[in-house]
Amino acid sequence: MSALADLREQICMFARALHGRGLTHGSTGNISARTPDGGLLVTPTGSSFLTLDPARLSLFDAGMTLVDGDKPTKEMPLHRAFYDTRGASGAIVHLHSAHSVALSMMPDVDEDDFLPHLTPYPIMKLGRVKLLPYFMPGDAAIGDAIRGLAGKRSAVMLANHGPVVAGKDLEAAVYAIEELEASAQLAMMTRGLNPRALSEENVARLVEKFDVDWGA
């Protein structure tokens, strides 16, 4: 199997896994990944993560011209923005996962540090997650907002919409967005209960030990 064919299968496999865990539903969510020649494979618009066809994924060449497959997701602006500002990114995952969306609607969430510091792994895998304002799905302004971060964040939360995570490869991006959703679920479960969070010293040691890109 060629590297491109293998990547097609991986995208569909991870998409089915995310759907099976209830982290996306209907035709929501989208995935993109760098191809060996510098192009992109992208999930098509209106497609379900449960029934993706590897042969119908949207294929872009290195010049970002669609050369094969179905019409891509309308969220291409956010994908392009991450690739343009975080050159080492090998994949982007965007979901409409329920707990992270619920947390984004809470009035007292820290826009600059969306996830409360309850467990170490979100810090290690995501750094600080930026909460961006609400934009209409597919709006090019989402891409502009991500570009405005100048590549300093690997993950953003679109208010009332869903998380977006960039990773060095597809596996890393999927694992990181799963961690984001699990952390948001913990935050919602413990909301108002005054849970014992990690201390600032705990967080600082994690950032140093695991060389976390903490962002500005």
Q: What is the DSSP-derived secondary structure letter of residue 91?
A: E
Count Cα atoms within 13 angstroms, Cβ side, for 59: 14
At position 95, the amino acid (one-letter code) is L
Query: Which residues are CB-contacts of 152 (< 8 A; sequence separation ≥ 6)?
Result: 213, 215, 216
The neighbour count for residue 21, using CB atoms within 10 Å, is 11
Which one, of 31, 207, 213, 192, lies nearest residue 103 by Cα? Answer: 192
Count Cα atoms within 13 angstroms, Cβ side, for 8: 17
Taking every pair of C-alpha atoms in the chain, what is the biggest distance, in angstroms? 53
Query: Which residues are CB-contacts of 140 (< 8 A; sequence separation ≥ 6)?
Result: 77
- Name the residues annotated as catalytic: 121
Helix H or strand E encompassing 67: strand 66-68
Which one, of 209, 216, 212, lies nearest residue 127 by Cα? Answer: 212
